[in-house]
Amino acid sequence: MNSEQQTFSAGLEGVIACATRLSHVDGEAGRLIFCGHNAVNLATTRTVEEVWFLLHHGRLPDETELASFKAKIETLGALSDKEVTLARTLRAGEPLSAFRTVLSAIASARGYKPWLNRDQAVVEEEILALSALAPQIVEVIHGDRAPLSKEGNNGYAERYLWGLTGSQPNADLTRALETYLILTIDHGLNASTFAARVTASTGADVGASLTTAVGTLSGPLHGGAPGPVLDMLDAIGTPENARPWVEQELGAKRRIMGFGHRVYRTDDPRAITLRSVAEKQNGPRITLARVVEQEVLAALAAHQQQRSAEQGKQKRPLRTNVEFWTAVVLEHVGIPRELYSSTFCTSRIIGWGEHIREQLQNNKLFRPLSVYSGPPVSE
Ligand SMILES: CC(C)(COP(=O)(O)OP(=O)(O)OC[C@H]1O[C@@H](n2cnc3c(N)ncnc32)[C@H](O)[C@@H]1OP(=O)(O)O)[C@@H](O)C(=O)NCCC(=O)NCCS
């Protein structure tokens, strides 16, 4: 077959690149599954550690297993004094970039080596250890101080919030954050997870794989939208201004942050759940956010209809994605706007770690082909 006859899928849309037992995004039904469990049910009733255990072992823990897993994650999640100093030295710049740099430096300082031909159990412990460090890395980057003591803490979500706000958070705020962290813990073969698996497939060290994944989050098309969503709510200001603002943005061919998804053809279940959390919080943003969501949905539907007519093919529906209501929930919880992507990282790093583990248990180097579109051979 010559190159003109070959086709490819831009953005690998519709391409199945691996099998995973970890999660399934059912885009038609608007359902998210983690290891056979409905993610929404898990997010509203379970803790991060329970879901992490589920991803790791394929089943939920009993009480004793949970206690020992929680203790292990807390121990692994503590930076050494040397690592705190390293993190404080490298924390310059935007928090997510600092996170990426610090994570990479810690893995390197710990001497983590390419996993190929090494004892798998040791490599799996390295994955768990690096993933567990995320909350303290964000705390040190944000606070430029040693992590606070959190004696009597109730787990991963509470420790994270405590480290950022400086005191033990109340149970409602922790629950809201915990729901978010669970909902975003894994999501099929999204861009960052794919990136992590591609790097892992070369036999690279786990620090390199996780750092690759963090790198993808700097773009607002994947994981970086909640901050811009709040910027948008600020710019709109009042419910009456929502319609003209949105029309102006679409007219200027700009994307509306927090809307649209590659896989979901119906409502994103994570957005629905986080909308309920935001409704329950009933914070000062809620009225504006509700109006803006409705105005954007109406404007996007009209926009897609017009584009369908112009292009002579049906354009996909654009619905609210997880990041719109994430912004409202995280603001109410008290997380600074510049840390939204890092907060996403403290959740998704768990999924990345489990995907890397899955990749190396049954590895095949990722090496797709490309269609040549350059000039013909001239000599
Ligand atoms: C998430 C996203 C990247 C998925 O997009 P995708 O599946 O790759 O689809 P494409 O980028 O090819 O976009 C398809 C069409 O929908 C339009 N579109 C998609 N999302 C849009 C949005 N949020 N606002 C306006 N138009 C949008 C595109 O302009 C494009 O239109 P065209 O075909 O007429 O040129 C996209 O919806 C987006 O950019 N959303 C905004 C950023 C965001 O919220 N990111 C967080 C994702 S969880």
- Closest atom of ligand 1 relative to the 229 alpha carbon: 44
Domain 226-330: assigned CATH number: 1.10.230.10
Q: Does the pLDDT at position 5 exceed 60?
A: no
Residue nearest to ligand 1 atom 32, measured at CA: 307
Of 6-15, 69-78, 96-105, give the lowest mean pLDDT range: 6-15
- Banded pLDDT at 6 (limits 50, 70, 90): confident
pLDDT digits (tens, 9 = 90+) for 109-163: 999 999 999 999 999 999 999 999 999 999 999 998 999 999 999 999 999 999 9
299 Cα to the center of ligand 1, angstroms? 14
Partners of 37 in the β-ladder: 34
pTM of the model: 0.95
What residue type is assigned to position 190 of the chain? N
* Domains of the chain by residue range: 22-209+340-361, 226-330
* Active-site amino acid positions: 261, 323
Tokens of 182: 């669970």
Domain 22-209+340-361: assigned CATH number: 1.10.580.10
Q: In whole angstroms, what is the distance from residue 359 CA to residue 373 CA? A: 32
260 Cα to the center of ligand 1, angstroms? 5
Residue nearest to ligand 1 atom 37, measured at CA: 260
Choice from 32, 217, 272, 318 to test ligand 1 binding pocket (greatest atom count within 8 A of CB): 318
225 lines ligand 1 (CB under 6 A): yes
61 lines ligand 1 (CB under 6 A): no
